[in-house]
Amino acid sequence: MPVSALTRTASSLEALRLAVDGLEQQVTILGPDGRVVHVNAARRAWVAEDPAHPGPVADHDPLAAAAQADPGSRAIAEGIRAVLRGERESFEAEYACRDRVFALRASAMAVDGVGALVARTDVTASHLATDGDGFGTSTRIAGRRVVARRLDELLAAGPVGVVSVRPRRTGPRSMERLTAGHEHVVRDTAALVGQLLPAGAVTGRSGADRVVVLLPGVDEDGLRRAAVPLAAGWRARIGRPNDLEATFDTVLARPGDRAEDVLARVAGGLTLGAERLRGAAPDGLPGVRAAATPAPATVVGALAG
């Protein structure tokens, strides 16, 4: 049973414990106060088999990361706390752990005694496919390392707008990541950027299923003017034909910002000044009828990779 199904089927804490113990994903159940209620077998086994771990506490308790000095760990902890406080239904982030890369998702649970379910999925293989030589092996689109290097170069000259596009499945499977069978979506998204955005835009990918666009020299208004038609065009030309949805997050990076921090922040939609666009549809794009409706910005600090 995928983690996404647990939010609909688990009726009690005990049932949830039994269900997550049968999953290959590493899962931690947190109580409403953030304390660890249960750690599933996959997570315990991974920690036990890795001699590099200093101890079980920090590894089993995702909120223990708040005690670490790096901003990435603090931001992940803050994202999980936002779920526990009821400010978000879910929170997502990717982080590196030595030679592995994990996708973390914290989800609110309507189960007595449960505040959030935190699942970790090993996405190292996807990152190697997209970032190993800097370009995706099947899409030949610049990977995260190339995008980060280019963003650092652009930031030396002035502000850079960043747009993050993350396609996802619709309906009950919306929590599941896209598979290799959806690589054409990444290619089509990159092609759409070339059609709708200025020639100076830089397109790449960050992780397996996220496309990022760099817009040098724009201000906040210019960034939004670029993001809204991209969101509308994507939904009309790519989302609907493939029965997919997408989240569109924006942030304006300024000289002095680190590229890796910017890319990580916009990936979670948790940045100072970040904005998430929903239902965007400006005039002049055929086949799109919904009105442009921006979601309110969420200001909680910097998100780590």
Q: Could you give all domains of the chain from N- to C-terminal order, each with its CATH number? A: 3-122 (3.30.450.20), 132-294 (3.30.70.270)
pTM of the shown model: 0.51
Structure token pair of residue 131: 């970032």
pLDDT over 80 (residue 67): no
How far apart are the C-alpha atoms of 197 and 51, rounded to whole Å?
48
pLDDT over 50 (residue 294): no
Residue 176's pLDDT is what?
53
Dihedral sign for Cα 113, 116, 120, 121, please.
Answer: positive
The residue among 294 and 224 whose pLDDT is bigger is 224
Helix (H, G, I), strand (E, B) or coil at 249: strand
**199 — pLDDT class (breaks 50, 70, 90):** confident
Contact 205, 212 (CB under 8 A): yes
